[in-house]
């Protein structure tokens, strides 16, 4: 038992499922108290279990992005909102718009109710994004490759390389700005930008070619015994299937999970067909893939516990359906309620901060020491 | 193991063949060294072995390359991954994963090796290359030598029969290079691996080679015995030059051999100098160009430079050495104002370099960074040179003129990115030199350069110093420093641990002593040109005692000219 909870990196899938659970819960409510509670829960876990390196520090970036989203949502509401009821805070001059844009008003009365609702909706989106940010800080994206189905492996490698490419591009830009100064040029004006782009992209191209040569030399994409057509078919089946799963889930989350309503039925159907297609494609091509995996991440008790902790708020919130506790009390204006059970569920979701195994000291401490 | 039958290679759009009718066989278990000038086709030759040429690079390959019984014509690189391990010039660019352990396993994963076997081989490789303490480290945080060893390990785990290394020590400090070469030697001796490696710094590798292939003007010789090869080679390490100069027979390839063979000459010279073999006093100019006063540089918790104070005088050439990551580049960046000191004061020509912009910067400080590509953005060499003339307000053709001194015979319509790394470095150097800056800072300027190119580089640097410029060269290249610098600063862990005349600092150091100094110690010679001009072979005289010392002692130490004391 002790070994199960000994310091190690948790299975990447567990963290992502946990984060998705929180995100689903967040998507079901506009109650600011619950949303902030979810954000705090995610923050606590990140603070305790984040990985070392730049990815581990990305959470604060997502927090800033979240604040920006709320601000944008409110500005849009002020400018374009159609506040039909509630307490009028102030009135902007209304701009007449051409007829073909009927339904859209620019300016006009801004009510407290509408503004508060916009803020809550912005907060909801921000918190959902924060959950994704939490997963990013808890799992280095390259480790996600380990759980990508074998059939999608080649696509996965490309995606991960793109992900790591962005931070490198930032570093390259800084270096090139310095280089321009060395040659006595300025960094202002469109011409300067044009000249900066050339070394930037030429450099990026060179490094991709070097990486491709290295991967080719090391056996990436070795002959797999399947024809090109069969491989393409498998990949298409898998991708279409996953897309179906995604659309199905979206439909369910939007339309409510109760069987009967049209949207829900379509959602279930999409989910089912998608799953079948993905499993078929994945299974078929998985069989031909001769890749093996070095030290695959084990799935032990902590992984299950973490996933359950994340799933609990999602289940509770979905079960509550459209209950009043989940709405923020923006209209009519009022203080949001403080519901006990959803809050407890969120508290459970923060439990991975101590029930998951600590991040290995070797993996966290060492990495932070630059050579 | 490797068989080339009449192999010729031509890249698409290239006017000439990159390799012409190469014909040789490398037997199993050999450590073969590929030697040749810059741009002679060494990398192309190596890339033929695992099929990168022509499958990846395109172009035409005539003839047949057979590796471990497989014809590369119908085996692309990935199908040869289990027999050929390929380590290319910049290991970081070739890393696929981001942790040491995963990187070691990557090739095996592609090959579909059973998990239990993978685990065992990773552990073995970690031990074999001394990487065990680094297993969970992120690859980007490793030093150059560590990266190179991980790159070697990452192909070794697949248990290839052939290991191909393209300039494995070019970016490494002397100690890291030793570590890497020791690891390679161990592989050859213990595992019977066939190794083929190319290297410009022959002084580091030639003594380990069993056989040598010379690539000259795109033609490849037969296999040659190292000593025989060195007689024919267009590039030779200093120890071989020394052996030839002293007419030692057989020609020594290692410092140890040369030292044993040159004992009579050494004793003769010592007797002549009556033990007064004192190195000349340090030559220093009097006008300081750059000054750092208690410069302190810190990134986060890491101290890069610790309260460092120094000044650089006009007309001097200063070498800056130290381990990878000791703070050499940071010091140069501080001097050009690309970095601001956490505390302390940096001045160049009486002003803070950070405040300089445009032509006034070019007139004060020129800095050639390690990544020369960042400074190149024109379509052709000619455009690049004209832009440099305009930036520095110099007459049209100034840069072109400098470039032809550094690198004769370059086609001005070539795209800068089509040049080899060494040639690109020379182009950037010409561009930066065009401004006639008072302070010239060079970061690792000898990467990818053969000995002849290094000599041309030295000549250009010297002439700039003679005109009053102060030059600082950060480098790992001991031989280059020995032939060029007046003063040597050695950095360790952010501290200036040595600041002395290059001669006494190099002679005094075990790690940084050049080959000639090691052979001739305790005589104070750093390079072959330091030796007395006349040196009759001992075999032709009766005995050393009967020699007339006047025959070979116009003891002119012909080092960096043009400096007025």
List b or e across B390-409, with b for residues whose CB sees 16 or more CB atoms inside 10 angstroms: ebbebeeebbbebbeebbee
The alpha-carbon gap from B187 to the nearest alpha carbon of chain A, in Å, equals 19
The residues near B350 (Cβ < 8 Å, ≥ 6 apart) are none
Cβ distance B253 to B227 under 8 Å?
Answer: yes
Strands B487-492 and B495-501, how do they pair? antiparallel
Measured in residues, chain B has a length of 565
Among candidates A181, A217, A292 on the partner chain, residue whose Cβ is nearest the Cβ of B115:
A292
Q: Give contacts of B136 with chain A, Cβ < 8 Å.
A: 360, 362-363, 366-367
Q: Does B393 touch chain A (CB under 8 A)?
A: no
Q: How far apart are the first and last CA of chain A?
A: 37
Identify the three-state secondary structure at position A331: coil
Residue A273 domain flag? no
User: Does the B288-516 domain belong in CATH 3.10.450.50?
Assistant: no
Q: Does B552 touch chain A (CB under 8 A)?
A: no
DSSP 8-state class, residue A367 = G
Q: State the fold for domain B2-235.
A: Rossmann fold (3.40.50)
The alpha-carbon gap from A216 to the nearest alpha carbon of chain B, in Å, equals 5
Query: Which residues of chain A from 292 to 311 reach within 8 Å of chain B, CB to CB?
Result: 292-296
Low-confidence ranges of chain B (pLDDT < 50): 539-565
Neighbours of B157 (CB within 10 A): 27
Residues B140-175 pLDDT 10s: 878 888 888 899 999 989 999 999 999 888 878 888
Cβ distance A125 to A73 under 8 Å?
Answer: yes
DSSP 8-state class, residue A178 = H
The alpha-carbon gap from A49 to the nearest alpha carbon of chain B, in Å, equals 17
The alpha-carbon gap from B506 to the nearest alpha carbon of chain A, in Å, equals 26
Neighbours of A317 (CB within 10 A): 25
Q: Sign of the C-alpha dihedral, residues B398, B402, B403, B405?
A: positive
Question: Looking at this predicted complex, what is its ipTM?
Answer: 0.82
Rounded Cα gap, residues B171 and A131, in angstroms: 43
CB contact under 8 A, A184 and B435: yes
Q: Does A53 touch chain B (CB under 8 A)?
A: yes
Query: Which residues of chain A from 142 to 161 reach within 8 Å of chain B, CB to CB?
Result: 142, 157
Tally of domains within chain A: 1
Phi/psi at B225 (nearest 5 deg)? -65, 140
Neighbours of B263 (CB within 10 A): 12
Q: Give contacts of B115 with chain A, Cβ < 8 Å.
A: 292-296
Tokens 């030796």, residue?
A: B531
pLDDT at B84: 93
Half-sphere exposure of B398 (CA within 13 A, CB side): 17
Q: Does A205 touch chain B (CB under 8 A)?
A: no
Cβ distance B392 to B430 under 8 Å?
Answer: no
Range of the domain at A61: 12-222+290-368
Residue A194 domain flag? yes
Residue A258 domain flag? no
CB contact under 8 A, B109 and A199: no
Three-state SS letters, B182-247: HHHHHHHHHHCCEEEEECCCHHHHHHHCCEEEEEECCEECCCECHHHHHHHCCCCCHHHHHHHHCC
Residue A28 domain flag? yes
The full DSSP string for B71-85 is ETTS--GGGGTTTEE
pLDDT at B552: 41
Among candidates B105, B135, B369 on the partner chain, residue whose Cβ is nearest the Cβ of A179:
B369
CB contact under 8 A, A217 and B113: no
pLDDT at A259: 46
pLDDT at A286: 58
Rounded Cα gap, residues B416 and B428, in angstroms: 10
Low-confidence ranges of chain A (pLDDT < 50): 257-259, 361-371
Tokens 């109760």, residue?
A: A258
Query: Which residues of chain B from 103 to 122 reach within 8 Å of chain A, CB to CB?
Result: 105-115, 118-119, 122
Cβ distance B399 to B389 under 8 Å?
Answer: yes
Radius of gyration of chain A (CA): 25
The alpha-carbon gap from A156 to the nearest alpha carbon of chain B, in Å, equals 12
Q: Does A203 touch chain B (CB under 8 A)?
A: yes
Cβ distance B447 to B90 under 8 Å?
Answer: no
Residue A280 domain flag? no
Structure tokens at B357: 């912009």
pLDDT at B564: 37
Structural element, H or E, at residue B463: helix B451-466
Q: Give contacts of B357 with chain A, Cβ < 8 Å.
A: 181, 184, 186
Cβ distance B228 to B501 under 8 Å?
Answer: no
Q: Give contacts of A196 with chain B, Cβ < 8 Å.
A: 377
Query: Which residues of chain B from 453 to 472 reach within 8 Å of chain A, CB to CB?
Result: none
CB contact under 8 A, A211 and B96: yes
Q: Does A220 touch chain B (CB under 8 A)?
A: yes
CB contact under 8 A, B81 and A214: no
Phi/psi at B552 (nearest 5 deg)? -130, 25
The residues near B418 (Cβ < 8 Å, ≥ 6 apart) are none
To probe the interface with B, which of A222, A294, A298 has the most B CB atoms within 10 Å?
A294
Rounded Cα gap, residues A247 and B113, in angstroms: 37
Q: Sign of the C-alpha dihedral, residues B63, B65, B69, B71?
A: negative
Q: Does B31 touch chain A (CB under 8 A)?
A: no
């Amino acid at each position: 038992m002790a070994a199960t909870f000994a310091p190690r990196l948790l299975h990447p899938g567990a963290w992502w499922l946990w984060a998705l659970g929180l995100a689903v819960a967040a998507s079901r409510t506009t109650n600011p108290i619950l949303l902030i509670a979810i954000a705090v829960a995610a923050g606590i876990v990140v603070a305790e279990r984040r990985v070392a390196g730049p990815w581990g520090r990305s959470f604060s970036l997502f927090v800033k992005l979240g604040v920006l989203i709320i601000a944008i949502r409110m500005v849009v509401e002020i400018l374009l909102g159609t506040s039909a009821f509630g307490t009028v805070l102030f009135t902007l001059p209304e701009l007449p718009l051409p007829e073909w844009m009927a339904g859209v008003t620019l300016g006009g009365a801004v009510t407290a109710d509408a503004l508060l609702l916009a803020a809550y909706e912005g907060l909801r989106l921000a918190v959902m994004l924060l959950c994704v940010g939490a997963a990013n800080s808890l799992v280095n994206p390259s480790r996600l490759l380990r759980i990508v189905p074998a059939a999608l492996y080649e696509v996965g490698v490309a995606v991960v390389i793109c992900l790591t490419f962005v931070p490198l591009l930032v570093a390259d830009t800084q270096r090139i700005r310095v280089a321009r100064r060395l040659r006595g040029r300025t960094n202002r004006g469109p011409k300067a930008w044009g000249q900066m782009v050339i070394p930037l992209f030429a450099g990026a191209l060179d490094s991709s070619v070097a990486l491709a040569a290295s991967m080719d030399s090391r056996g990436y994409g070795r002959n797999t015994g399947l024809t090109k057509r069969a491989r393409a078919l498998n990949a298409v089946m898998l991708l279409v299937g996953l897309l179906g799963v995604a659309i199905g889930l979206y439909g369910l989350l939007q339309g409510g999970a109760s069987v009967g309503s049209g949207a829900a039925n379509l959602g279930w159907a999409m989910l089912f067909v998608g799953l079948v297609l993905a499993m078929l494609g994945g299974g078929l091509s998985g069989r031909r893939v001769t890749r093996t995996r070095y030290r695959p991440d084990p799935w032990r008790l902590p992984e299950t516990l973490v996933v359950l902790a994340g799933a609990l708020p999602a289940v509770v919130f979905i079960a509550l359906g459209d209950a009043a506790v989940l709405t923020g009390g923006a209209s009519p204006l009022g203080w949001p309620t403080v519901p006990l059970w959803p809050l407890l569920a969120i508290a459970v979701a923060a439990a991975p901060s101590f029930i998951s195994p600590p991040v290995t000291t070797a993996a966290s401490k060492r990495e932070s020491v630059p050579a | 193991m490797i068989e080339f039958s009449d192999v010729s290679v031509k890249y698409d759009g290239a006017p000439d063949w990159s390799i012409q009718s190469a014909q040789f066989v490398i037997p199993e278990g050999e450590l073969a060294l590929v030697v040749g000038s810059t741009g002679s086709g060494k990398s192309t030759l190596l890339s033929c072995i695992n099929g990168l040429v022509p499958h990846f690079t395109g172009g035409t390959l005539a003839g047949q390359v057979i590796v471990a019984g497989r014809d590369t014509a119908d085996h692309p690189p990935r199908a040869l991954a289990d027999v050929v391990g390929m380590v290319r010039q910049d290991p970081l660019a070739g890393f696929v994963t981001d942790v040491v352990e995963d990187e070691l396993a990557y090739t095996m994963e592609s090959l579909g090796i059973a998990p239990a076997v993978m685990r065992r081989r990773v552990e073995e490789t970690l031990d074999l290359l001394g990487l065990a303490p680094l297993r969970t480290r992120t690859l980007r945080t490793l030093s150059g030598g560590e990266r190179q060893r991980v790159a070697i390990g990452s192909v070794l785990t697949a248990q290839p029969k052939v290991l191909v290394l393209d300039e494995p020590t070019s970016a490494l400090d002397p100690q890291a290079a030793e570590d890497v070469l020791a690891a390679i030697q161990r592989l050859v001796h213990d595992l019977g691996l066939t190794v083929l490696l190319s290297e410009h710094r022959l002084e580091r590798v030639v003594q380990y080679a069993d056989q040598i292939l010379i690539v000259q003007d795109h033609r490849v010789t037969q296999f040659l015995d190292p000593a025989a090869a060195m007689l024919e080679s267009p590039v030779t390490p200093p120890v071989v030059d020394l052996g030839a100069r002293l007419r030692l027979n057989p020609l020594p390839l290692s410092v140890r051999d040369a030292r044993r063979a040159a004992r009579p000459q050494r004793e003769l010279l010592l007797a002549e100098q009556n033990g007064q073999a004192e190195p000349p006093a340090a030559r220093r100019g009097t006008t300081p160009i750059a000054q750092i006063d208690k410069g302190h540089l810190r990134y986060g918790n890491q101290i890069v430079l610790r309260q460092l104070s120094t000044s650089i005088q006009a007309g001097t050439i200063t070498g800056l050495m130290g381990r990878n990551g000791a703070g050499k580049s940071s010091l140069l960046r501080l001097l050009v104002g690309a970095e601001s000191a956490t505390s302390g004061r940096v001045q160049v020509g009486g002003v803070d370099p950070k405040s300089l912009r445009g032509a006034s910067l070019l007139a004060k400080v020129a800095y050639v960074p390690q990544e020369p590509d960042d400074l190149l953005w024109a379509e052709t060499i000619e455009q690049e040179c004209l832009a440099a003339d305009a930036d520095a307000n110099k007459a049209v053709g100034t840069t072109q003129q400098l470039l032809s001194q550094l690198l004769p015979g370059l086609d001005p319509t070539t795209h800068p990115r089509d040049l080899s790394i060494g040639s690109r470095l020379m182009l950037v150097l010409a561009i930066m030199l065009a401004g006639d800056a008072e302070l010239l800072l060079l970061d690792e300027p000898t990467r990818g350069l053969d000995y002849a190119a290094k000599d041309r580089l030295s000549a250009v640097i010297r002439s700039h110093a003679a005109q009053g410029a102060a030059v600082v060269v950060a480098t790992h290249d001991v031989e280059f420093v020995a032939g060029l610098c007046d003063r040597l600063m050695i950095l360790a862990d952010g501290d200036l641990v040595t600041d002395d005349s290059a001669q006494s600092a190099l002679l005094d150091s075990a790690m940084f002593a050049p080959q000639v100094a090691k052979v001739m110690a305790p005589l104070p010679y750093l390079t072959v040109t330091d030796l007395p001009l006349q040196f009759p072979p001992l075999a032709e005289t009766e005995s050393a005692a009967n020699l007339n010392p006047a025959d070979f002692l116009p003891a002119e130490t012909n080092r960096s000219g043009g400096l007025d004391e």
